[in-house]
Chain A
Amino acid sequence: MLYCDAYLTPRSLADAFTAMAEYRGRYRLVAGATDTLPWARAGRAGDVAIPALIDVSAIPELRERRVDATRVRIGAATPMQRFLDDGDLARAMPVMARCAVWFADDQIRAAATVGGNLVNASPAADATPPLLAHDAQVELACAREGKITRRRMALGDFVRGPGKTALEADEILLAIECAALPGYGAEFEKVGHRRSLVIATVCLAAVVRLDAAHAIADLRLAVGGVGPVPCRLHESENFLRGGAATLARLEEAAHMTVGLVQSRTRHDYRRDVLHGFVVRGLASALRRAGGASPPVGELEASHA
């Protein structure tokens, strides 16, 4: 169990920083608490006593939502379920919607925040690959010498390793900003040991846009679960961009991921699945992007 002497719910950024200063070194931030509470149980951290829990989910800046044709800005405390039930957001971030149906379950998603997922920095965090695919930037804030200052960085630089991020002890993750990708075809592939409430062994985010000639105008691929941090598959992307979407080319792009798997456990399995996910994930994304998607028929053939 997680025990605390105080549970604070600041209603403004300034109040949050005041509380953080007061409890310096003796607090922990929570948003949805869906990582924090299960962590403080037997078999993991066990009983944990923390002087203060500071709940950041009621701070207006962390609940922001701005969506237009080109950009998206969402507060860090945005629950994962928003990517499914907020139509504008789902259209601007089609791969986040696909990711969200695989994320935990409807109830956890109602509480679990996108910021918590990023800060928790699990190698298998589901939201990270889609956000990498969106070239997301994170915005961090802190109060130093009485002044609130903000800084930004690419998500890829923010997540540093399992449980490690660039967040400083006195910082809060404020918001995430990224490109809107309306009209992109998207797919999120994920495999674990079941189909709900499942931690990914491998997950892959794929988004694609086709040009008038049905060549690949833009695509982004990102993977989670195969190394200490989720990452983009730039080599495969560069190879495919501008070309035709044939099965042979997809296979070749997938082949470029062979050396990428760093996880020691289930290494060969992850390598094989990643390879397959690149092909199949892209094929579905292509189909959703309106492509003729020649490969899909063959791939999804089931002899039933």
Chain B
Amino acid sequence: MPDLRIDATVNGRAISRPAKPWQRLLDFLRDDLNLTGNKEGCGAGECGTCSVFLDGVLVKSCLVPVAKAQNARVETIESLGRAGALSVLQRAFHKAGASQCGYCIPGMVMAGTAALRANPLAGREEIRERLGGNICRCTGYQKILDAVELTRDVGNGTLPESALAEEEPADGRFIGANVRRLDAPSKVSGALKYAADMTMPGMLHVQVLRSPHPHARIVSIDTAGAQAMPGVAGVVMADDVPGIDGFGVFVNDQPVLARGKVRYVGDAIVAVAAEDELTARRALDHVTVVYDPLPAVFDPREAMRPGAPVIHDDAPDNITKHIPIRVGDVESGFARSDLIVTQTYSTQAIEHAYLEPEAGLGYVDPDGVVTIISPSQNITHHRHMLARILALPINRVRFIMSPVGGGFGGKEDMIYQGILALLAIKTGRPVRYVFTREESIIATAKRHPSRTTLKMGLTRDGRICAVEFRMISDGGAYGLSTEGVMRKAAILGAGPYNIANLRMDTYGVYTNNTPSGAFRSFGALQTQFATESHLDICAEKLGLDPFAIRRVNAMRDGAVTHTKQTLGSVSLMRALAAAEEAARWEAGPPSSRGATRHDLGGAGNRAPCTLGARFAAAEHAAQPEKVA
């Protein structure tokens, strides 16, 4: 069957080009027409980074077979405006500070445009609903909604155009001023090129074979079938690493490609570079790996038991890191307590879900410098590690940070940059590797799941006498940032309170689960969730207001921390007072008194979402007619 021929109008220009019958509209726009403003965040209709207008109707182009664009009118983000000639909505995004990493933004701009085309007077709740197919991981949506409302108001004349302009600081001082983001125009217009949007002449496409087993010895790898395929330019595996293999933020326990064994489902084993992505994908089917499955362990508490399967030879107890903190004597503290409360807390593994899946390019420049372009959060450290892995002097390795479409800690690990380097060296050509969403989820780090037992002793008036805190955390198959996460969890876990007697232990443990790694707020989130929940439980039992119990214990200027550091100024008391005031908090013990409090439902709340805001709008719009 021959290729399709697509005749369509794209951004106002007639095009006529061949397309593969299986291509999606998104592939056609990005790969064939080089319209990379719209992105592929998930490929499954779940994120909206790919939203484009098809005959004036907004659709998710990752779910549109390209044949559906036949004779149609397609508008991408590139049609709405460009730097210097932005649309009102794009300017409103700029003004409101609605873009952060920017990866969701082209899709958001499309959705906002569609929302106001559908109803130029849409209220905030209706706008929310009309933007409901577009995920943003950075902004919390508030400034995006503000921007769409601003556009609506400028559009209907309630606000002047000048509302979109930069506010110059009156005193000429820029520190402290709401200067508009300098990178916003490139983001709202889709002009900014992320790694997956970049191409290089002669570029090859990379695909990676990953382990289907959580724990197995690799008996043999046969890549001959893949090597022999037309279009395949290079195949690499662990043997291709010239230097000392291993990377990690704290310990270098992760090989570029599995060496001798695999430790989790998703561990990379073999990488292929080919003329196109489909060939590279098919080549993986022609690699044969023989595995000898090993007993695996998935629960960190089991992994800590003697006799559990050992995941890394140099950690026979499977403990990646234990951080102890000791202050005073907890036993005597508990003995003096009027109330002792013990409770267990658990938190789940969390995916960073940055809208930009991992992507990167690698090439060897004419001077022999191995160069990696990727959205890395740590180019300095990556360069150190890659130089050692490649056995190159450090200035023969160069890392360039491409725009990062969200990181949150998840792009601190050098998960795929080593693969890019090996294939660039092996093939002598530029290579590019773009993860699918599923690959990103299966292969990259998560927030550490945790299980905490917290025992707290207090006096009747709410003073904390002693805390015993023990957290066990699943670090998964490799060390990544586990050590640092355990450390921060321990230092901060008992909260900003004066605690004379503290026994704090955090353990990060190897298992055969997806590795855990760096994630915004790095262990402090898990532990302070426990402590702050616990304080409310204790406050109820003591009949104290939640603010009051915290004030009794709060660190103040000159406090000594649990690591025995003396602080200077401590702003906690000010923060408590400001929050109480801002929320107009009504004091009282936390004893499910929702039914009787008077501070509910006031300013600062949104309307509860009931869905169907557009019905209300329609009913409202219909009314004047009835009257007339």
Contact = CB atoms under 8 A, between A and B. Distances in A.
Interface string A277-304: 0000000000000000000000000011
Interface stretch (B60-68, B151-159, B525-533, B547-555): B60-68
B1 A102 contact: no
B22 A195 contact: no
Contacts of B60: 107-108, 111
B600 A101 contact: no
Contacts of B58: 106-107, 110
Contact of B21 (A6, A111, A195): A6
A37 B611 contact: no
A111 B51 CA distance: 12
Interface stretch (A39-47, A151-159, A222-230, A236-244): A39-47
B132 interface: yes
Contacts of B46: 197
A111 B132 CA distance: 16
A122 B539 CA distance: 47
B22 A7 contact: yes
B340 interface: no
Contact of A38 (B45, B70, B132, B281): B45
Contacts of A7: 4, 21-22, 65-67
B609 interface: yes
A3 B22 CA distance: 5
B615 A30 contact: no
B63 A108 contact: yes
A104 B133 contact: yes
A101 B611 contact: yes
Given A37-B62, A195-B132, A196-B132, A4 B21 contact: yes
Given A196-B129, A303-B594, A55 B65 contact: yes
Contact of A42 (B45, B70, B278, B438): B438
Interface string B8-25: 000000000000011010
Nearest to A49: B22
Nearest to A9: B67
A110 B129 contact: no
Contact of A101 (B43, B63, B129): B129
Contacts of A107: 48, 51, 58-60, 111, 133
A89 B4 CA distance: 36
Contacts of A110: 57-59
Interface in A32-80: 32-34, 37-38, 41-43, 47, 52-53, 55, 57
Interface string A117-136: 00000000000000000000
A37 B132 contact: no
Overall SS of chain A's interface: mixed
Interface string B101-116: 0000000000100100
Contacts, number: 109
Contact of A43 (B132, B438, B600): B438
A2 interface: yes
B22 A2 contact: yes
A53 B43 contact: no
Nearest to A42: B438
Contacts of B612: 98, 101
B259 interface: no
Interface residues of B, number: 45
B558 to A, nearest CB: 42
Which of under 10, 10 to 19, 20 to 34, or 35 or more describes the interface residues of A? Answer: 35 or more
Interface string B227-252: 00000000000000000000000000
Contact of A53 (B21, B51, B130, B601): B21
B133 A196 contact: yes
A148 interface: no
Contacts of A38: 44-45, 63
Contacts of A102: 611
Contacts of B615: 97, 101
Contacts of B59: 107, 110-111
A24 B45 CA distance: 29
B211 to A, nearest CB: 14
B594 A42 contact: no
Nearest to B597: A303
Given A7-B4, A37-B44, A304-B600, A106 B21 contact: no
B610 to A, nearest CB: 9
Contacts of A97: 615
Interface string A1-18: 111111101000000000
Interface in B126-170: 129-130, 132-133
B132 A197 contact: yes
A196 B612 CA distance: 12
A104 B59 CA distance: 12
Contacts of B611: 101-102, 195
B347 to A, nearest CB: 17
Interface in B56-98: 57-60, 62-68, 70
Nearest to A2: B22
A105 interface: yes
Contacts of B614: 84, 101
Interface string B261-281: 000000000000000001001
Nearest to A6: B1
A43 B612 CA distance: 33
B608 to A, nearest CB: 8
Interface string A91-119: 00000011001101111101100000000
B56 to A, nearest CB: 10
Contact of B436 (A4, A5, A42, A84): A42
Contact of A195 (B1, B68, B609): B609
Contacts of A55: 65, 67-68
B31 interface: no
B580 interface: no
B586 interface: no
Contacts of A5: 1, 21
B183 interface: no
A102 B70 CA distance: 30
B175 interface: no
A58 to B, nearest CB: 9
A138 to B, nearest CB: 24
Interface string A168-196: 00000000000000000000000000011
B439 interface: yes
A91 B468 CA distance: 63
Contacts of A30: 65
A303 B58 CA distance: 40
Contacts of B132: 105-106, 195-197
19 contacts: A7-B22, A7-B65, A9-B68, A9-B70, A37-B63, A37-B65, A41-B44, A42-B439, A43-B442, A101-B611, A102-B611, A104-B133, A106-B129, A106-B132, A107-B111, A108-B63, A196-B129, A197-B133, A304-B601
Given A41-B44, A53-B65, 11 more contacts: A7-B67, A30-B65, A34-B63, A37-B62, A37-B63, A42-B436, A104-B45, A108-B45, A108-B133, A196-B129, A197-B133
Interface of A: 1-7, 9, 30, 32-34, 37-38, 41-43, 47, 52-53, 55, 57, 84, 97-98, 101-102, 104-108, 110-111, 195-197, 303-304
Interface of B: 1, 4, 21-22, 24, 43-46, 48, 51, 57-60, 62-68, 70, 111, 114, 118, 129-130, 132-133, 278, 281, 436, 438-439, 442, 594-595, 600-601, 609, 611-612, 614-615
Nearest 10 interchain pairs by C-beta: A105-B133, A196-B132, A304-B601, A42-B438, A6-B1, A7-B21, A38-B44, A7-B67, A3-B22, A304-B600
